[in-house]
Amino acid sequence: MKRLNIGGRGPKNGGDNPRESGVGAENDPRNIGDQNEENSASARGAEVELSPQEREEQIKSAAPDGGEIQQTPSMEQSRREEEGQSESAAQEGESSGGSRVSVVDESPPRPGPPNGVSDDEYKWHTYKVYPSGRPDAVEFIDTYKSFGRSHILRGLNMGLPEGMVSMILGPSGTGKSVCIKHMVGLLYPDKGDCLVHGQSVPNMADDDLFDMRKKFGLLFQDGALFGSMNLYDNVAFPLRQHTEKGEDEVEDIVMRRLNEVGLASALGKMPNELSGGMRKRAGFARALVLEPDIVLFDEPDSGLDPVRTALLGELILEIHRDMMDEAKEKQKEHLPTFCVITHDIMSARRVADYINVLWKGRIVEAGPAEDMLNSENPFIRQFLSGESQGPLTMD
């Protein structure tokens, strides 16, 4: 049994960076010098005491048919002491199947509302983060972003655990797409940080940013295919653009990906000859050709009928499973992390391992899907069941 100690994600928590102990980050050039304690996972209280092999085992044991992961009492106690909380506030938990790995019955100190906003507006934000049992591939740390007078991200603390299919859910206009743009360095925070595998995106030099973007596969709403290229060339495009691979190798990769998404027989078609669902699958195939560590889907199901939405959800899960197997087999440094933004609650229920609910620029609650679906927070309950009655209204 592996030992694991996870605290709530909050701006002022203490603790060790999981990567520092997990993958020997003291020698890891990915950890840039100006990443101080406040700017690391430690600032959010996540502690994982594992070597790479142990981490691998732990991840296996945290998998859906899962094992049992215990908190490390001494580390947990010291973190609570730092936070000035009573020992009785923490509770050890055990796996009960699903992706749930432990239960922490404590909340980090509740941050105040953003400047100029009443407490009342944030009354549903418990900021509770149920532990995922894994380090985060992407972390937002106290991130603020405004456009003129529109304050979109207002002290966002959010993580996408490595090796999981995460969802970001939230009402329209809350900044979900803005989050994706921060992850790939298309937008920079006004304040706070966004880390990808421990590296601060806003502090990256241009060359590093260019390399870092290769970690990502992106799938936009309509697949964003080039209208003047056939399906094959669309999927081959990133390989021809970013690698030195010869055409034989390109063909192997493209055909493998097209087979995976069920489009091998349509390779000569132009995008306008494809249905909406086919275009999305084509976009998915293209997003995967560079073997990304992190795949981002911004509303992949918009405009699809319920059956095709369900099939796309299955495809996402299937491909994630295949990529997990491959990453383990090849002993890759990082496990594949998927992040899906959707308004489709059924998709979230079917596909998500981990759910972040974003509202008013902050996380209301986040955690493994099972914990979130059992949340007692009225806002989360209403949102995840898609009901009209509840704290969330049209305004």
Ligand X SMILES: Nc1ncnc2c1ncn2[C@@H]1O[C@H](COP(=O)(O)OP(=O)(O)OP(=O)(O)O)[C@@H](O)[C@H]1O
Binding residues (CB under 6 A) for ligand X: these are 147, 150, 152, 170, 172-178
172 binds, among Mg ion, ligand X, none (CB under 5 to 8 A by kind): ligand X
**To the nearest whole angstrom, how small is the minimum distance from the Cβ of residue 358 to ligand X?**
7
β-partners of residue 339 are: 166, 296
Q: Name the nearest CA neighbour of 367 among 171, 182, 166, 205.
A: 166
Candidates 17, 99, 143, 177; binder of Mg ion (CB under 5 A) is: 177
Q: Which does 175 bind (CB under 5 to 8 A by kind): ligand X, Mg ion, none?
A: ligand X
147 binds, options ligand X, Mg ion, none, Cβ within 5 to 8 A by partner type: ligand X
Contact between 296 and 218 under an 8 Å Cβ cutoff? The reply is yes
Answer for the pair 315, 283: CB distance below 8 angstroms, yes or no.
Answer: no
Which partner from the list Mg ion, ligand X, none does 304 bind, CB cut-off 5 to 8 Å by kind?
none
Interface stretch with Mg ion, choices 170-178, 214-222, 268-276, 285-293 (CB under 5 A): 170-178
Query: Residue 196 touches which of ligand X, Mg ion, none (CB < 5 to 8 A by kind)?
Result: none
Selected range binding Mg ion among 105-113, 137-145, 169-177, 302-310, rule: CB under 5 A:
169-177
DSSP-derived 3-state class of residue 244 = coil
Please report how close the Cβ of residue 336 comes to ligand X at its closest, in angstroms. 23
Q: Which is nearer to ligand X, 79 or 145 (CB)?
A: 145
How many CA atoms, within 13 angstroms, populate the side-chain half-sphere of residue 335? 25
Residues in the chain, how many? 395
Do the Cβ atoms of 166 and 337 come closer than 8 Å?
yes
One-letter amino acid of 19: R
Which among Mg ion, ligand X, none contacts residue 174 (Cβ within 5 to 8 A by kind)? ligand X
Cβ at position 348, least distance to Mg ion in Å: 15
The partner in contact with residue 178, picked from Mg ion, ligand X, none with C-beta cut-offs of 5 to 8 angstroms by kind, is ligand X
Stretch that binds Mg ion, among 54-62, 63-71, 173-181, 350-358 (CB under 5 A): 173-181
Write down the least CB distance from residue 152 to ligand X, Å.
Answer: 5
Interface region with Mg ion, contact rule CB under 5 A, candidates 46-54, 171-179, 265-273, 368-376: 171-179
Nearer to Mg ion, 42 or 221 (CB): 221
User: 152 or 289, CB closer to ligand X?
Assistant: 152
Token pair recorded at residue 316: 């996402």
Shortest distance in whole angstroms from residue 392 CB to ligand X: 14
Spatial distance between the Cα atoms of 306 and 304, rounded to a whole number of angstroms: 6
Contact 10, 108 (CB under 8 A): yes
Residue 80 vs 154, nearer CB to ligand X: 154
How many residues interact with Mg ion (rule CB under 5 A)?
2
Residue 36 or residue 150: which is nearer to ligand X going by CB?
A: 150
Tell me the residue type at 13. Answer: N
Q: Please state the closest distance from residue 195 (CB atom) to ligand X, in A.
A: 19
Instruction: Detail the DSSP E strand segments found in 81-229.
Output: 128-129, 136-147, 150-161, 165-169, 191-196, 199-200, 216-219
Which of ligand X, Mg ion, none does 226 bind, CB closer than 5 to 8 A by kind?
Answer: none
Q: Are strands 136-147 and 150-161 parallel, antiparallel or unpaired?
A: antiparallel
In the complex with ligand X, the residue whose CB is nearer, 187 or 225, is 187
Judged by beta carbon, residue 284 or residue 297, the one nearer Mg ion is 297
CB of 176 to Mg ion, least distance (A): 5
Question: Contact, 77 vs 89, CB < 8 A?
Answer: no
Question: Would you tell me the crossing angle of helices 276-288 and 247-260 to the nearest 10 degrees?
Answer: 130
Q: CA separation (Å) from 13 to 7, 23, 45, 49?
A: 8, 21, 5, 17
**CA–CA distance, 348 with 386 (Å, rounded to integer):** 11
SS3 call for 159: strand
The amino acid at residue 363 is: I
How many Å apart are CA 146 and CA 390, to the nearest integer? 28
CB 99 within 8 A of CB 65: no
- Closest distance to ligand X from the beta carbon of 30 (Å): 27
**C-beta of 44 vs 176, nearer to Mg ion:** 176
Q: How far is the CB of 219 from Mg ion (least distance, A)?
A: 13
Task: Output the smallest distance, CB 143 to ligand X, in A.
Answer: 13
Q: Summarize as ranges the residues that interact with Mg ion (CB under 5 A).
A: 176-177
